[in-house]
């Protein structure tokens, strides 16, 4: 039984149209994104220099650089990581190693973190303002900004670490138990080292998130662009700096472009590093 030529042509036309539309969509998407990236690079290149990175902002950021901003960003990040890592990783270890996956404790912790992951960042900002800045009396400070970010990072750090620990082959645990190692010893000597690349990759993803964050810091770490003297000083994060320059400072576009480019480059490096780690992980799994 042969098919009519008309049917065959119709099918060919339909396939070609579908393919054409998909190529069109992809071209559109790539075009817009290249436009964005090229625009960012062109706008930022002219202004980005070593001096820009090492000077503090003057004239509301129109002149000078972003040194104090970078320091504040780094401090906020450090506070966030110092607060979030112990909590996140101990949660992950507990969930992956010590509690059966279906226990009610494990389930409720996981559910709570799942919900936390979906909370919009502006809501974190509201909470941080109410709890850290006002209730705990930390005011607009690097400390309260960092702690707010720590809450945001908790779910992502936990879920990446838990996945990494679960990927460690069970044979490690069994052979450690067979050798009479305590669980603590097995964890510190065998399982954590084996999961280290995954933990690091998750950490990098978390750092990327934290660097990109603006809304949660608006009313927790504040706007002050001076060099912070202590963790209780207000400090302006890089992302917030871009926002402020472009929205509130007429004539701040050049510095904003340079800061945006700086931020994107930073994030790009972090992403590449995280991908390398994850890729190395995959390779190792294939080898064994």
- Please provide the size of the chain in residues: 288
If the CB atoms of residues 74 and 215 are measured against other proteins, the closer one turns out to be: 215
If the CB atoms of residues 43 and 139 are measured against other proteins, the closer one turns out to be: 43
Q: Which residue in 2, 137, 179, 229 binds other proteins (CB under 8 A)?
A: 2
The pattern of x and - marking residues 198 through 237 that bind other proteins according to CB under 8 A reads: ----------x--xxxxx--xx------------------
- Does residue 165 belong to the site contacting other proteins (CB under 8 A)? no
Interface with other proteins in residues 6-25 (CB under 8 A): 7-8, 11-12, 14-15, 18-19, 21-23, 25
* Phi, psi dihedrals of residue 66, rounded to the nearest 5°: -135, 25
d(C-alpha 53, C-alpha 64), whole Å: 9
- Does residue 253 belong to the site contacting other proteins (CB under 8 A)? yes
* Phi, psi dihedrals of residue 64, rounded to the nearest 5°: 80, -160
Find residue 63's DSSP bridge partners: 58
Q: Are 17 and 185 in contact (CB under 8 A)?
A: no
Residue with tokens 């309260």: 144
d(C-alpha 200, C-alpha 38), whole Å: 31
Contacts 24+ apart (CB under 8 A), 116-124: 116/151, 116/154, 116/155, 117/155, 117/156, 117/159, 119/152, 120/215, 121/152, 121/213, 121/214, 121/215, 121/216, 122/215, 122/216, 122/218, 124/148, 124/151, 124/152, 124/215, 124/216
Residue 172 Cα to chain centre, angstroms: 31
Q: Which stretch binds other proteins (CB under 8 A): 27-35, 47-55, 72-80, 226-234?
A: 27-35
Q: How far is the CB of 91 from other proteins (least distance, A)?
A: 4
User: First CA to last CA across the chain, in angstroms?
Assistant: 52
If the CB atoms of residues 124 and 142 are measured against other proteins, the closer one turns out to be: 124
Q: How far is the CB of 162 from other proteins (least distance, A)?
A: 11
Q: Which stretch binds other proteins (CB under 8 A): 45-53, 62-70, 168-176, 246-254?
A: 246-254
* Number of residues this chain uses to bind other proteins (CB under 8 A): 91
Q: What angle do CA 167, 86, 235 make, to 5 degrees?
A: 125
Interface with other proteins in residues 53-112 (CB under 8 A): 86-88, 90-91, 93-95, 98, 105, 108-109, 112
If the CB atoms of residues 223 and 288 are measured against other proteins, the closer one turns out to be: 223
If the CB atoms of residues 75 and 85 are measured against other proteins, the closer one turns out to be: 85
Q: Which residue in 182, 230, 276, 284 binds other proteins (CB under 8 A)?
A: 182
Q: How far is the CB of 250 from other proteins (least distance, A)?
A: 13
If the CB atoms of residues 54 and 112 are measured against other proteins, the closer one turns out to be: 112
Q: Which residue in 104, 171, 184, 282 binds other proteins (CB under 8 A)?
A: 184
Interface with other proteins in residues 268-287 (CB under 8 A): 268, 271, 275
Helix axes 67-93, 238-248, angle to 10 degrees: 130
Taking alpha carbons only, the member of 41, 249, 117 closest to residue 236 is 249
Interface with other proteins in residues 112-131 (CB under 8 A): 112-127, 129-131
């Amino acid at each position: 039984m042969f098919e009519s030529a008309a049917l065959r042509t119709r099918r060919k036309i339909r396939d070609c149209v579908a393919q054409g539309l998909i190529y069109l969509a992809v071209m559109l998407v790539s075009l817009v994104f290249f436009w964005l990236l090229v625009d960012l690079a062109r706008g930022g290149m002219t202004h980005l220099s070593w001096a820009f990175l090492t000077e503090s902002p003057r004239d509301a950021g129109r002149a000078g650089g972003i040194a104090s901003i970078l320091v504040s960003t780094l401090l906020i990040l450090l506070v966030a990581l110092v607060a979030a890592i112990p909590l996140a990783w101990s949660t992950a270890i507990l969930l992956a190693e010590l509690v059966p996956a279906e226990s009610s404790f494990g389930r409720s912790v996981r559910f709570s973190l799942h919900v936390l992951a979906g909370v919009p960042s502006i809501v974190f900002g509201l909470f941080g303002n109410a709890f850290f800045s006002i209730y705990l009396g930390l005011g607009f400070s690097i400390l309260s900004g960092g702690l707010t970010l720590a809450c945001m990072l908790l779910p992502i750090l936990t879920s990446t670490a838990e996945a990494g620990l679960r990927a460690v082959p069970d044979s490690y645990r069994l052979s450690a138990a067979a050798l009479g190692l305590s669980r603590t010893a097995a964890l510190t000597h065998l399982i954590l080292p084996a999961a280290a690349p995954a933990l690091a990759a998750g950490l990098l993803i978390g750092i990327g998130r934290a660097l990109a964050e603006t809304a949660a810091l608006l009313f927790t770490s504040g706007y002050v662009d001076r060099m912070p003297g202590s963790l209780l000083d207000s400090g302006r994060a890089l992302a917030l700096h871009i926002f402020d320059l472009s929205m509130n400072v007429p004539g701040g576009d050049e510095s904003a472009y340079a800061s945006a480019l700086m931020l994107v480059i930073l994030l790009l490096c972090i992403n590449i590093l995280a991908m390398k780690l994850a890729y190395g992980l995959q390779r190792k799994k294939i080898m064994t």
